[in-house]
Chains A and B, each alone.
Chain A
Amino acid sequence: MNKNYWIIEVFKKKNLPDIFGIDIKRSIEEIGIYNVEEVRVSNIYKIECIADKEKIKKITKELLIDNVSETFRIYKKIKIEKNCWIVEVFLKEGVTDPVGDTAKDTIIESGILKDVNVKTGKRYYIKGNLKEKEIKEICEKILANTLVQNYFIFKRV
């Protein structure tokens, strides 16, 4: 079996406020962009390993999420939402990813997998009537520090 990527997205349960999202929205308004309706933030774990979905589920439930406040989905391709920009921010190659490293160590230590690699990032769902230029500005000024991070914008439909 070849190694493959699993992408796990961890987000706050719907009935709980997304504090990070609210904070980001406030920051966006501070730079003078006011037509943002909502921002939601989720954590992304890219897991490179040989494993089936059940195992990945087990890892996620036991190690990656807080079962009280968070929930997750596992998939291989990004879903694009209506009227919503999606931005992903990842650390550049070679920059230490402490969360990823710790997740990796923990997975190995728990005995679920022996050979695994984890990279982490953040995904932002930004709702509102925004132009691409504005999204770029938001990325550069708030979401990513291009010195150490790359950002990817997924166009809305």
Chain B
Amino acid sequence: MKYAKYINILSADEETLIKVSEENLLSLDLVEMKKIREYFNSLGRNPTDCEMECIAQTWSEHCYHKTFKAEIQYFEKEDEKIKIEKINLLKEIMEVTERLNYDWCVSVFKDNAGIVKINDKWGVAFKVETHNHPSALEPYGGAGTGIGGVIRDILGVGLGAKPILNTDVFCFGLLDFPYENLPEGILHPRRIFRGVVSGVRDYGNRMGIPTGNGAIIFDNGYLYNCLVYCGTVGVIPLDKVEKKVNDGDVIVVVGGRTGRDGIHGATFSSASLKEDIPTSVVQIGNPIVEKKLQDILLVARDLNLYNSITDCGAGGFSSAIGEMGKDIGAIVYLDKVPLKYKGLLPWEIFLSESQERMVLAVPEKNVEKLISLFTSENVEATVIGKFVKTGKLTVYYKDEIVCDVDMDFLHKGVPKKTLKAFFEKKEGENVKFKSKNIEEDILKILSNPNIASKGEVIHQYDHEVGGRSILKPFVGYEGRGVSDGIVLKPFYNSYEGLIIGCGINPFYGMIDPYYMAGCCIEECIRNIVSCGGNPEKIAILDNFCWGNIYDEKELGNLVRCVKGCKEFALKYKVPFISGKDSLNNYFKGKDKNIISIPGTLLISGIGIIEDIRKICSTDFKKEGNIIFILGKTFNELGSSQFYLNHKIKGGILPRPRPEITLNLMKKIYLGIKNGLIKSCHDCSDGGLITAICEMMIGGNLGCSINFKDVLAETKEPEIILFSESCGRFVVEIEKDKIYEFENLFKNEEISLIGEIIEEKKILGWWGNKKLFEISLDKIYEKWSSLKF
């Protein structure tokens, strides 16, 4: 062979097989290597380097989701009793959507992103990806390409959707982590933070897509592995949802050129971070190229020039073409691929994860037209092969076949994994804790990085471009108040709207991932509902980021979390439309110690509303209006910001109560729709007091609240102020609408707790006793004290 080389595995023993996998960074285990050996034995030859790379990439955790498809034997221990069950994580999640069976879920779990219906003509696609490993190494490039990648996911869903919004959620180590304690080779959280934020900003802003929703979590569990979630929302005509590659379609690559960047991304991201990392895994994106690509692609879509499309993400051509030609077969000519520079080996071209590339399946008759269309906008389009009914993936470099494997083996040959998982319940009793100084505690919570305003970051993002943002990330007086979600008006000629929200709380997962899942799902729904969303028209996405899943306990946590997702999604009647997992987010230091991240679940949600004129923001509107809290407060302080501030471990986690909350949310939807509710904010991190303070900041108004009037399990100031119980909303009502309001919320758990006053301060009462009095200036000063 001139261009590729054979890798000897036919005569290799077990030890050598492992060595081959490790030396070539394939991340394949022994069982998989044996299966590959068996396959090539039947062919009577050794695999080429290109074939090995291609198989490794297709079978990687990143592309195939081995763990989520594995059969897991799950042991759950509670009070010395052990329950055993067999579980398939992916099936659990998909069962929710199947059982709910909504007709407005158009495309779920089969394409690049999930699609739901907005009206009879249009659908909306939503996808959230993670880009953790690259961001930990090169924050700017990693985060930028994360955004770039998820935008291409949206461009590649169906026959292509138009991106209209980006979302981003980050988890970092604490910004004030001492430099001298930082391990070798790890970037400081502050540096990662700045790089990631500028990466997202530069890519999103330059693409002309607003960045409008997100969250930032700080915890030292993320010191070694930061988490970067990037999401994109796009709109797509419903007649462009289906795609199908036909026999004889020509393979055309469009967009950027291929270089050595990002080689081994897929297999690399499925492995742990070690101290020696190859340069080539890092990519740097070029938003201008992608912007041009996006614009011309949508023109080609509307001219019906191609039959199918997918993005070149992890695994490059190998993954994109392999996936598209799964049921047919493909012949690829690698020497035709336009390169950034000379000297790439065939397998490098096939596996490269260079950014800004998409692959199209074009009917022969349209090829010329398509290429001239792309060329007219200075976007390169090149024919690199053909889909042919051979059932094989055949790759040529010049006259040499460098890869020739059966599609069936590639996509169905992955040995099924059987794993063991173990979970032990450890939720304890509530810890009795009296606050010494309530005022101090409130201010401390407001200035906690997880609660404080992220304004400095969010204002770097363009959230206006495109002119579709109706409710923006910041609301109220001088744009100071924080919004629960973002409302978009996707079409210029109709009032239909989209609301996007998210829920994340890794701190709950440290006690019990099951309730973390429930709380995240509810938080996401609450965010959407308090903006005016219809709780019966919300779809959600799951994103799991987990640590070392070869550890039975870590895997047990993951299983427990998935079980929670299924249970609560069914109870809240919200379907999952898409999801992604990023596993093995752990760091192996010199001393071989394994440090995993806290298991983290992000739930992102999208709600569809009929009229964007009937929405609600969180800022207080007018003095004299009265304040209600909807929902009951329970003694649930476990992992609350109050406990975390006082370094108290344990306690009871908030319990989602779907039976009660779902009804309440339906009424809130009505209340906002008919204009009864003037402002609405959900209580989540930081409890009731944080919600009220944020509403004050947004309205630049004060309020007088009697906390004793709050409906609660136990009437204690600490519990009422700081408990993070689910299913609670603070709402503002005009005084003369009180009967109408109480009528609407008849039989619900509501309590009138105070009113809005002109004086710019909060007066906290406990019956007749004054609990505290804090000026709005002080509240704002603390809340906006976070400096990046």
Q: Which chain A residues have a beta carbon within 8 Å of chain B's beta carbons?
A: 27, 30-32, 91-92, 94-98, 101-102, 105, 109, 141-142, 145, 147-148
Q: Are B340 and A96 in contact (CB under 8 A)?
A: yes
Query: In the assembled complex, which residues on chain A have CB atoms less than 8 Å from the CB atom of B194?
Result: 27
Question: For the complex, is B240 an interface residue (Cβ under 8 Å from A)?
Answer: no
Q: Which residues of A contact B179 (CB under 8 A)?
A: 30-32, 141
* CB of B72 closer than 8 Å to a CB of A: no
Beta-carbon nearest neighbor of B287 in chain A: A98
Is B288's CB within 8 Å of the partner chain A?
A: yes
Q: In the complex, what residue of chain A is closest to B195 when comparing beta carbons?
A: A145
Chain B residues near A96 (CB-CB < 8 A): 259, 261, 283-286, 340, 354-355
**Docked complex Cα distance between A97 and B341 (Å):** 13
**B341 touching A147 by the CB < 8 A rule?**
no
The answer to whether the Cβ of B511 comes within 8 Å of any Cβ in the partner chain is no
B137 on interface, CB distance cutoff 8 Å: yes
A-B contact count (CB 8 A): 59
A96-B340, A98-B288 known; A148+B282 contact, CB < 8 A: yes
Are B288 and A142 in contact, CB atoms less than 8 angstroms apart?
A: no
Closest residue on chain A to residue B182 by CB atoms: A141
| Contact residues, B274-306 vs A (CB, 8 A) | 277, 279-280, 282-289
Q: Does B761 contact A (CB under 8 A)?
A: no
CB contact between B288 and one of A102, A141, A147, A148 (< 8 Å): that residue:
A102
B residues less than 8 Å from A32 (CB atoms): 179
Q: How far apart are the CA atoms of A27 and B283 in the complex, in Å?
A: 25
**A94-B259, A96-B259 known; A148+B284 contact, CB < 8 A:** yes
User: With an 8 A cutoff between CB atoms, is B188 at the interface?
Assistant: yes
A98:B191 contact, CB within 8 angstroms:
no
Bound-complex Cα distance A101 to B257 (A)? 11
In the assembled complex, B378 has its CB within 8 A of some CB on chain A? yes
| B interface residues, Cβ below 8 angstroms from A | 137-138, 141, 179, 187-188, 190-191, 194, 259-261, 277, 279-280, 282-289, 340-341, 354-355, 378
A131 to B282 alpha-carbon distance, docked (Å): 32
Q: How distant is the Cα of A30 from the Cα of B652 in the complex, in angstroms?
A: 38
B259 contacts which chain A residues (CB < 8 A)? 94, 96
Are the C-beta atoms of A94 and B261 separated by less than 8 Å? yes
Contact status A147-B137, CB under 8 Å: yes
**Given the contacts A31-B179, A94-B259, A105-B378, A147 and B282 also touching, CB distance less than 8 Å:** yes
Distance between Cα atoms of A148 and B142 in the complex (Å): 11
User: In the complex the two chains form, is B285's CB within 8 Å of A148's CB?
Assistant: no
Is the Cβ of A145 less than 8 Å from the Cβ of B188? Answer: no
Question: A94-B341, A95-B282, A102-B288 are contacts. A148–B190 as well, Cβ < 8 Å?
Answer: no
Minimal beta-carbon separation of A137 from chain B (angstroms): 10
What is the distance, in angstroms, from A73's C-beta to the closest C-beta of chain B? 26
Write the nearest CB–CB distance from B273 to chain A, whole angstroms.
12
A70 to B284, CA, bound (A): 26
The reply to whether B286 and A147 contact each other, CB–CB distance below 8 Å, is no
Q: A94-B341, A147-B277, A148-B138 are in contact. Are A30 and B286 (CB under 8 A)?
A: no
Min distance, Cβ A90 to any Cβ of chain B, angstroms: 13
Q: How many angstroms between the C-alpha atoms of A141 and B186 in the bound complex?
A: 10
- Distance A105 CA – B286 CA, assembled complex (angstroms): 13
Given A94-B261, A96-B340, verify A141-B188 contact (CB < 8 Å).
Answer: yes
A141 engages B284 (CB within 8 Å): no
Contact of A98 among B137, B188, B286, B354 (CB under 8 A): B286
Give the 7 A-B residue pairs with the shortest CB-CB distance, closest first.
A98-B286, A96-B284, A102-B288, A148-B282, A31-B179, A94-B260, A148-B138
Which A residues touch B288, using CB under 8 A?
A: 98, 102
Report how far A31 CA is from B188 CA in the complex, Å. 10
Instruction: Please give, as numbers and ranges, the residues of chain A lying within 8 Å of B187 by CB-CB distance.
Output: 145
Q: With A142-B191, A147-B138, A147-B277 as known contacts, state yes or no: A101 contacts B341, CB within 8 Å.
A: no
Give me 10 A-to-B residue pairs in the complex whose CB atoms sit less than 8 angstroms apart, sorted by A's number. Answer: A94-B259, A94-B261, A95-B279, A96-B283, A98-B287, A98-B289, A102-B288, A109-B378, A145-B187, A147-B138
**Which residue of A has the minimal Cβ distance to B261?**
A96
List chain B residues, Cβ under 8 A from A91: 284
Are A95 and B261 in contact, with the CB atoms below 8 A?
yes
Q: What distance in Å separates the Cβ of B58 from its nearest Cβ neighbour in chain A?
A: 25
A147 CA to B284 CA, complexed, in Å: 12
Q: Are A145 and B138 in contact (CB under 8 A)?
A: yes
Q: Nearest Cβ distance between residue B514 and chain A, in whole angstroms?
A: 39
A27-B187 Cα distance, complex, nearest whole Å: 13
Shortest distance between the CB of A2 and any CB in chain B (Å): 21
CA distance A98 to B492 in the complex (A): 33
A22 CB to closest chain B CB (Å) equals: 13
Distance to closest chain A CB from B132 (angstroms) = 16
Partner of A95, one of B191, B277, B284, B289: B284
Additional 7 contacts, C-beta under 8 A, given A27-B191, A96-B259: A96-B261, A96-B284, A96-B355, A109-B378, A142-B191, A145-B137, A148-B138
Residues of chain B within 8 A of A148, CB atoms compared: 138, 141, 279, 282, 284
Most central of A92, A142, A147 by chain B CB within 10 Å: A147
CB-CB nearest in chain A for B190: A30
Decide if B285 touches A98 in the complex (CB within 8 Å): yes
Inter-chain CA distance A102–B288, complex, in Å, is 8
Whose C-beta in chain B lies nearest to the C-beta of A94?
Answer: B260
- Rounded to whole angstroms, the CA-CA distance of A87 and B705 in the bound complex is 57
Is A98 touching B284 in the complex (CB atoms < 8 A)?
A: yes
Complex-state Cα separation, A97 to B280, whole angstroms: 14
A142–B190 Cα distance when bound, in Å, is 10
Which residues from B are CB-within-8-Å of A142?
191
- B262 and chain A: residue at smallest CB distance: A96
Chain B CB count within 10 A is highest, among A97, A101, A148, for A148
> How far apart are the CA atoms of A106 and B277 in the complex, in Å?
35
* A47 CA to B702 CA, complexed, in Å: 59
Distance in angstroms between the alpha carbons of A27 and B191 in the assembled complex? 9
With A and B bound together, what is the CA distance between A96 and B355 in angstroms?
A: 9
Nearest-CB residue, chain A, relative to B787: A26
The chain A residue sitting closest to B280, CB to CB, is A94
- Neighbour of B286 across the interface among A27, A92, A94, A101, CB < 8 A: A101
CA distance A132 to B272 in the complex (A): 35
| Cα distance A31–B175 in the bound complex, in angstroms | 12
Q: Are A147 and B190 in contact (CB under 8 A)?
A: no
B260 to chain A, nearest CB (A): 5
Shortest C-beta distance, B186 to chain A (Å), equals 11
A117 shortest CB reach to chain B, Å: 11
Rounded to whole angstroms, the CA-CA distance of A124 and B36 in the bound complex is 52
Q: With a CB–CB cut-off of 8 A, which chain B residues contact A94?
A: 259-261, 279-280, 341
Nearest B residue (CB) for A137: B179
State the Cβ distance, B394 to closest chain A Cβ, in Å: 29
In whole angstroms, how far apart are the Cα atoms of A101 and B288 in the complex? 10
CB-CB < 8 A to A101: which residues of B?
Answer: 286, 289
Shortest CB-to-CB span from A76 to chain B, Å, is 25
Nearest CB of A to B601, in Å: 30
Q: How far is the CB of B328 from chain A (nearest CB, A)?
A: 33
Contact partners of A141 in chain B: CB under 8 A: 179, 188, 191
> Max chain B CB contacts within 10 Å: which of A94, A109, A141?
A94
Assembled-state Cα–Cα distance A102/B378 (Å): 12
CA distance A97 to B340 in the complex (A): 11
CA distance A109 to B187 in the complex (A): 39
Which residues from B are CB-within-8-Å of A109?
378
Compute how far the CA of A101 lies from the CA of B355 in the bound complex, rounded to whole angstroms.
14
Who on chain A is nearest to B187 by CB?
A145
Q: Which single residue of chain B is at the shortest CB-CB distance from A31? A: B179
* Docked pose: A108 CA to B138 CA in angstroms: 30
Q: Is the CB of B190 within 8 A of A97?
A: no
Nearest Cβ on chain B to A50's Cβ, whole angstroms: 21
Are the CB atoms of B191 and A102 closer together than 8 Å? no
| Shortest distance from the beta carbon of A105 to any chain B beta carbon, whole Å | 7
- Report A-chain residues with C-beta under 8 Å of the C-beta of B378: 105, 109
- Closest CB in chain A relative to B3 CB, distance in Å: 20
Asked if A92 meets B279 with Cβ closer than 8 Å, knowing A32-B179, A142-B191, A148-B138, the reply is yes
Contacts of B286 in A (CB 8 A): 96, 98, 101-102
On whether A147 and B279 interact (CB within 8 A), knowing A30-B190, A94-B261, A96-B261, the answer reads: yes
